[in-house]
Each structure stands twice: as structure tokens, then as C-alpha cells.
């Protein structure tokens, strides 16, 4: 009998109320649509714990809902044990990447860290997912556009 490999993916941003919970919800929507939901475990966390326990930013939730994506996630801070629980920790920007690198307990853990930009195919001008927290509506739309691009690549790699 064929055993299906399960890939455990943790998206990481700063506050875990905008970018990474949107990435989590976006990837979940795509894997469900593609019939691959049983092949992944998806979660998100923030390098900063100040919003822990909170729902995602209402502006991010509204922008996602307009694309048919629900975001029920409650924020939490990333922790060292996440390197045991996940195969890929995908950072939204270089600051998140460096914070994860400092948290990683060893070399094997460091090798699990990726930048979201590695999965962008159609947005070569973006080397990170810009923080929308202090931005207007367009900032949230841009985040979702970039997440759509990268999540499509991630799903391709799961096949």
C-alpha cells in the first residue's frame, strides 16, 4: 500500500495576525481544492508574541473573506519545539528569517527555514512579503496576491 508523505508547514511573520495566518488559510484553501488536504499539516506563528491569543487583524480577515478565505487562527509566538513539529518554517521577510535562524537549536533545524520569496513565480520584483500592518487596503490585497502566487508553487511541490 502506498504511504502518503505528510509535509508539515509553519508560516512565520512578525505578529501572526496578518501575513502568516493569511498564508496558512490560503494554502489550506488551495490544498482542499486540489484534494491534497491529507498530505499537509499547516499552521502559522509570529516571532513577536505581543498579539498572542488574538484573532487575525480585521482588515486582513475582510480582504481574505472577499476571496472566499476564512481565517479562524488565533495568534501565537513561534517556539523552539516548532523545529521538531514542522518540516518547513517559511518566513515572510528577512527579519522573520533571521529571528527563526537565531531560535533554531542546531544546523538541522536551520535547514528547515525558507523564505516565502523562494516560492514566488510571477512576482519577481518582490523579495519579501511586505508588512501590511501600517498600510492601507492595497497592502492587504498585495499580500494576498503574493500569497496566491507562492501557495500555488508550494502545492505543485507537494504533488
Locus of grid cell 499580500: 143
Beta-carbon count within 10 A of 127 CB: 12
Least distance between ligand 4NP and beta carbon 34 (Å): 25
Question: CB under 8 Å to 80, separation ≥6 — which residues?
Answer: 103, 104, 105
Closest separation between CB of residue 154 and ligand 4NP, Å? Answer: 18
By CB under 6 A, residue 18 contacts ligand 4NP = yes
Residue 131 among the catalytic residues: yes
Task: Indicate the DSSP class of residue 3.
Answer: P
Nearer to ligand 4NP, 84 or 145 (CB): 145
Subset of residues 21 to 50 that bind ligand 4NP, contact rule: CB under 6 A? 46, 50
Q: Which of 13, 28, 82, 93 is catalytic?
A: 13
Asked if 93 and 129 touch (Cβ cutoff 8 Å), the reply is yes
Nearer to ligand 4NP, 16 or 120 (CB): 16
Nearest residue to 82 (alpha-carbon basis) of 9, 7, 157: 9
Of the listed 43, 57, 82, 131, which one is catalytic?
A: 131
Annotation marks residue 19 as catalytic: yes
Q: Which one of 17, 78, 89, 146 is in contact with ligand 4NP (CB under 6 A)?
A: 17
50 versus 105: smaller Cβ distance to ligand 4NP: 50
| Cβ contacts of 49-55, under 8 Å, gap ≥ 24 | 49/76, 49/77, 50/15, 51/15, 51/16, 51/17, 51/75, 52/16, 52/76, 52/77, 54/17, 55/17
Give the x/- contact pattern for ligand 4NP in 111-140, rule: CB under 6 A: --------------------x-x-------
From 18, 19, 82, 151, the catalytic residue: 19
Report the catalytic residues: 13, 19, 131
Amino acid at each position: 500500500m502506498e504511504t502518503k508523505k505528510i509535509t508539515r508547514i509553519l508560516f512565520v511573520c512578525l505578529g501572526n495576525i496578518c501575513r502568516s495566518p493569511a498564508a496558512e488559510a490560503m494554502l489550506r484553501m488551495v490544498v482542499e481544492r486540489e484534494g491534497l488536504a491529507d498530505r499537509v499539516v499547516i499552521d502559522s506563528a509570529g516571532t513577536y508574541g505581543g498579539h498572542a491569543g488574538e484573532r487575525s487583524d480585521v482588515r486582513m480577515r475582510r480582504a481574505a473573506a472577499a476571496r472566499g478565505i476564512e481565517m479562524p487562527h488565533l495568534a501565537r509566538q513561534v517556539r523552539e519545539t516548532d523545529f521538531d513539529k514542522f518540516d518547513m518554517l517559511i518566513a515572510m521577510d528577512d527579519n522573520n528569517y533571521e529571528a527563526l535562524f537565531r531560535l533554531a537549536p542546531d544546523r538541522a533545524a536551520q535547514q528547515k527555514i525558507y523564505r516565502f520569496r523562494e516560492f514566488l513565480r510571477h512576482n519577481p520584483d518582490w523579495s519579501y512579503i511586505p508588512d501590511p500592518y501600517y498600510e492601507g487596503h492595497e497592502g492587504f490585497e498585495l499580500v494576498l496576491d503574493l500569497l496566491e502566487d507562492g501557495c500555488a508553487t508550494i502545492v505543485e511541490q507537494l504533488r
